[in-house]
Chain A
Amino acid sequence: MAIDRKTVEKISSLAKIKLNDTEADEITNELSNILEWIDQLNKVDTKNTPPMTGVIKSNLYQRDDLITEDKKLDEILINSPETTEGFFVVPRVVD
């Protein structure tokens, strides 16, 4: 399915990826091509087929309710571009 520039703008906003005009046009084009190619899947009859999320069939492993991690403030903050007094810093957020 071909997609339009408006859709690309919507999804780039959902994905929080800034695209300039040229990029947005290019991507619209590329995505349209890719999606058209993907559309061959419509030829497959999947009416009675269940979707498959993953191949592992075992039960979900459940850990015991133990505290196995200790404080690691320095390690948590060390790679951050901006911190202060133990907090990560971001531009002011309004509710």
Chain B
Amino acid sequence: MTSKANNNLNWEIIIGLEVHAQVVSNSKLFSGMSTTYGGEPNTQVSYIDAAFPGMLPVINKFCIEQAVRTGLGLKAKINMESVFDRKNYFYADLPAGYQISQFENPIVGKGQVILDMPDGTIREIGITRLHLEQDAGKSIHDSNSANSYVDLNRAGIALMEIVSEPDMRSSEEAGLFLKKLRTILRYLGTCDGNMEQGSMRADVNVSVRRYGEELGTRCEIKNVNSIRFVQQAIEYESKRQIKEIELGNKIVQETRLFDPKNFETRPMRSKEESHDYRYFPDPDLLPLKLSQTWIDQISKSLPELPDDRKQRFCSEYGLSIYDSGLLVDDKETADFFEEVVLKRDPKLVANIVLGDFYGFLNKLGQNINNSRVSSKSLGELIDLISNKIISGRISKEVLEIMFQTGQSPKEIVEEKGLKQISNIDEIEKIVDTILDENIEKVNEFKNGKEKLFGFFVGQVMKKTEGKANPQLVNEILTKKLNKN
């Protein structure tokens, strides 16, 4: 085991990803059929989608716009003229016997994605290209039957294939890349990024080499549908390749599949016939020419992207890079934060949102849009803390009730009598009682056992059920304990 680990230090893993991202649009790329997920089989299929004789594709303008928007979000070159090609192959879920795609002239050229590494450094991953293409249908295989069943609902939905440069060097980087890409797509509203519904899938190209050597032969792991699986597939595949080479074997360039049950990759059984796709320009479509004016319009309509937003969170709100990063990772969280933070203390808001608020969301399996706590009511809760009506400690209890009942924090505080005790006389009385009850500990403290201070605070809090203003408690305790 150790020797293997040592060996791995000599090996560099080279990873490139091809991400298929389903475009958010009402209708399909070349037909006016709905793209809604999860319909009964073949109920969202037009004659075009099923490639009936004489049917012709007509392109969806919004899908083009989405591709351009994504390209701009990836700081990529938008190609003023691109071409739709036919990629010819036979498969059960490909009704026309060809997929309309873009081969030599994609709509988007080179771009980049910036990764924030956990150690605070930055990695730039190059984007080679982005092109538009049609999704295929779905074949369902029933192991008890000699048949497969074809559902074409998904056939013809617009996909963006986003191809990265082979710039990643670890499964961790690949994971960060996918997360970041997903974040960007969600910010742009061009893909919902739901990998479990298949609206984002990745083909993973993996090769290994000893440091300083030439690139090795790569294998492509097709259609991996979660970030975790991508990482597991890379782990397995890179180890497999290293082992093969160390055994003196050659890596065969091939297409493999990831088996999430056994965490391993295996060669595809159906050999994809020599990959002769016979691409040629689709004669049913004309070259796609874009105008600079239109691209500029789209560019102006772009939302603030996660990298920019993170910078702004640091400078405008004085948050740490780390907290800013966490907040902007998810557009909804960042939006929510900005709704709450108006006229409030940014650090306090960030702490509550990323701390207790997210804690409850996760615990209850809710998300920011369907929870009972709105930005408005969370803001009210934070105001109660800021105005010293309740203590931070009590706020967690209040928040929990808010999640359960949807009540406003004020109501809860009133109802349960959770208001903070900020009356000096009252706290002094309680402090006196505590000190009287613990005369021995007081003496120990006075003899130098200063860490007992916390004990006294705890006792006061216990007595007040956490409602005593902690700052006042501190002040009064300090004053009284240091007397004489």
Direct contact of A and B (CB under 8 A): yes
- A64 / chain B contacts, CB cutoff of 8 Å: 60-62
Q: How long is the Cα–Cα vector from A23 to B46 in the complex, in angstroms?
A: 37
Contact A54 B149 (CB under 8 A): no
Contact A93 B92 (CB under 8 A): yes
B273 at the interface (CB under 8 A from A): yes
B248 at the interface (CB under 8 A from A): no
B270 at the interface (CB under 8 A from A): yes
- Given the known interface contacts A53-B283, A54-B286, the answer about A71 and B44 at a Cβ–Cβ threshold of 8 Å is yes
Contact B268 A92 (CB under 8 A): no
Contact A65 B147 (CB under 8 A): no
Contact A86 B40 (CB under 8 A): yes
- B90 / chain A contacts, CB cutoff of 8 Å: 16
Contact B61 A62 (CB under 8 A): yes
B278 at the interface (CB under 8 A from A): yes
Q: How far is the CB of A69 from the nearest CB of chain B, in Å? A: 4
Interface of A, helix, strand, loop or mixed by DSSP: loop
- Given the known interface contacts A65-B61, A87-B151, the answer about A95 and B27 at a Cβ–Cβ threshold of 8 Å is no
- A44 / chain B contacts, CB cutoff of 8 Å: none
Stretch binding the partner chain, chosen from A24-32, A33-41, A72-80: A72-80
Contact B26 A63 (CB under 8 A): no
Contact B45 A65 (CB under 8 A): no
- B45 / chain A contacts, CB cutoff of 8 Å: 72-73, 76
Chain B 127-165, CB-CB to A under 8 Å as 1, else 0, gives 000000000000111000111111110000000000000
- Given the known interface contacts A60-B285, A60-B286, A63-B58, the answer about A86 and B150 at a Cβ–Cβ threshold of 8 Å is no
Contact A60 B62 (CB under 8 A): no
Contact A93 B59 (CB under 8 A): no
Stretch binding the partner chain, chosen from B31-39, B212-220, B362-370: B31-39
Interface residues of A in 51-68 (CB under 8 A from B): 53-54, 56, 58-68
Residue in A closest to B82 when the chains form the complex, CB atoms: A60
Give which listed residue, B33, B59, B276, B287, contacts A62 with CB less than 8 A: B59
Q: How long is the Cα–Cα vector from A14 to B283 in the complex, in angstroms?
A: 21
Q: How long is the Cα–Cα vector from A95 to B140 in the complex, in angstroms?
A: 11
Give which listed residue, A16, A54, A62, A86, contacts B64 with CB less than 8 A: A62
Give which listed residue, A61, A69, A89, contacts B147 with CB less than 8 A: A89
Q: How long is the Cα–Cα vector from A14 to B268 in the complex, in angstroms?
A: 19
A85 at the interface (CB under 8 A from B): yes
- B149 / chain A contacts, CB cutoff of 8 Å: 84-85, 87-90
Interface residues of chain A, those whose CB is within 8 Å of chain B, are 13-14, 16, 53-54, 56, 58-69, 71-73, 75-77, 84-95
- Using A66-B26, A91-B148 as known contacts, list a sample of 16 further A-B pairs with CB atoms less than 8 Å apart, ordered by residue number in A: A61-B58, A62-B64, A63-B58, A63-B60, A65-B61, A67-B32, A68-B27, A69-B31, A72-B46, A73-B43, A76-B50, A77-B42, A86-B40, A90-B149, A90-B150, A95-B269
